[in-house]
Amino acid sequence: MSKKLETKFGEKIDEQLADVGAKVLNIHGHMYQKSGWPDRYISHWKWDGWLELKTMNYKLDPLQARIMEALNDRGTNAFTLRHYGKVYLERYDGLKLWECEFGNGMIVEILAYLESI
């Protein structure tokens, strides 16, 4: 059931990103997917970087956490975007950085926060 929720969450995120002019490279579930790498690369004038989408309270697996930490250490943005009632932005270690309500327009708030950090 969580995969279905994650797919729906991803579709909503992708739709909203397209609406604000972002380019999205979605490697989740594709032949280009490499184990441990985040689901999507986002390119937008406010922010660019990797997002790993999660639903519920599912954690990053250890390889995902190591890769995201390594990306951040090299100056590349990589965060988890979690839908669990609200939408949470988290670091690779699970630290919640920010939250917003799930719904239309949430990506504008998410991008504004990402631009500020």
pLDDT band (50, 70, 90) for residue 15: very high
Question: Does position 27 have pLDDT exceeding 90, yes or no?
Answer: no
Question: Does position 30 have pLDDT exceeding 90, yes or no?
Answer: no
Pick the CATH number of 2-58+65-97+109-116 from 3.40.50.10740, 3.40.50.300, 3.40.630.30, 3.40.1350.10: 3.40.1350.10
- Kindly state the DSSP code that residue 39 receives in the 8-state scheme: S
Residues whose CB falls within 8 Å of the CB of residue 5, separated by 6 or more in sequence, listed in order:
55, 56, 83
In the chain, where are the structural domains located? 2-58+65-97+109-116
pLDDT band (50, 70, 90) for residue 6: confident
Taking the C-alpha atoms of residue 50 and residue 34, their distance in angstroms, rounded to an integer, is 13
